[in-house]
C-alpha cells in the first residue's frame, strides 16, 4: 500500500478555537484479485468551542463544473487527544472516480455531516488531489 502525506485543505482559527481539515490519499492492490484501489481519507480536527463536523459525505466540484459525490464507506470513532477532537472516514474510489480525480482540477471540496446538516467548504490548491492520486498510481 502507498500512502501520500496528509495535506491541509481547510483551516480556520480564532480566539475561541479552530477547525482543520486534512486529506490523505492511499492506494494499493487487492491481495485476492490484484486489482488496483485508491481511497481518500478526510480527517476533521477541532479545538475549543468549535463543533466536530463528521465527514460522512464529500462533494468534489471541478473547475469544468462537474461534480462527484462520495458517501463514507467507514467512519472511525471520534477521538480526543491533547484538547483536540478529531474524526476520519474512509472513501474507496471506483475506476471512474479515480479517472476524474487524476485528470481534473478542483474548484472546491465540500465535507458534510448529513446528520447535523453542517458542512465545510474547502478550497485547496486546485491540483492537490490530482497530484496525490497520480503520485499513488505511479507506484503501480
Question: Please, which pLDDT band fits residue 35 given cuts at 50, 70 and 90?
Answer: low
- b/e string for 91-109 if b means 16 or more Cβ within 10 A? bebeeebbebbbebebebb
| Number of residues assigned to the chain | 140
Q: What is the pLDDT of residues 92-139, one digit of tens each?
A: 988 889 899 999 999 999 999 999 999 999 999 999 999 988 888 887
- Name the residue with cell 496525490: 132
Q: What is the pLDDT of residues 40-97, one digit of tens each?
A: 999 999 999 888 999 999 999 999 999 999 999 999 999 999 889 999 999 998 888 9
Q: What is the pTM of this model?
A: 0.87
Question: Please, which pLDDT band fits residue 3 given cuts at 50, 70 and 90?
Answer: confident
Please report, rounded to a whole number, the percentage of residues in the chain having pLDDT higher than 90: 62
- Domains, in order of start, for the chain: 2-137 (2.60.40)
* Sign of the dihedral defined by the CA atoms of residues 54, 120, 7, 84, in that order: negative
Amino acid at each position: 500500500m502507498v500512502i501520500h502525506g496528509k495535506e491541509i485543505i481547510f483551516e480556520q482559527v480564532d480566539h475561541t478555537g479552530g477547525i482543520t481539515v486534512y486529506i490523505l490519499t492511499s492506494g494499493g492492490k487487492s491481495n485476492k484479485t490484484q486489482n488496483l484501489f485508491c481511497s481518500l481519507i478526510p480527517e476533521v480536527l477541532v479545538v475549543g468551542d468549535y463543533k466536530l463536523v463528521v465527514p460522512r459525505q464529500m462533494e468534489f466540484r471541478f473547475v469544468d463544473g462537474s461534480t462527484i459525490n462520495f458517501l463514507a464507506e467507514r467512519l472511525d470513532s471520534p477521538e480526543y487527544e491533547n484538547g483536540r477532537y478529531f474524526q476520519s472516514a474512509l472513501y474507496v474510489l471506483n475506476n471512474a472516480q479515480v479517472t476524474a480525480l487524476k485528470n481534473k482540477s478542483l474548484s472546491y471540496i465540500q465535507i458534510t455531516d448529513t446528520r447535523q446538516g453542517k458542512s465545510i467548504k474547502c478550497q485547496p490548491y486546485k491540483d492537490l488531489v490530482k497530484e496525490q492520486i497520480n503520485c499513488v498510481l505511479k507506484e503501480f
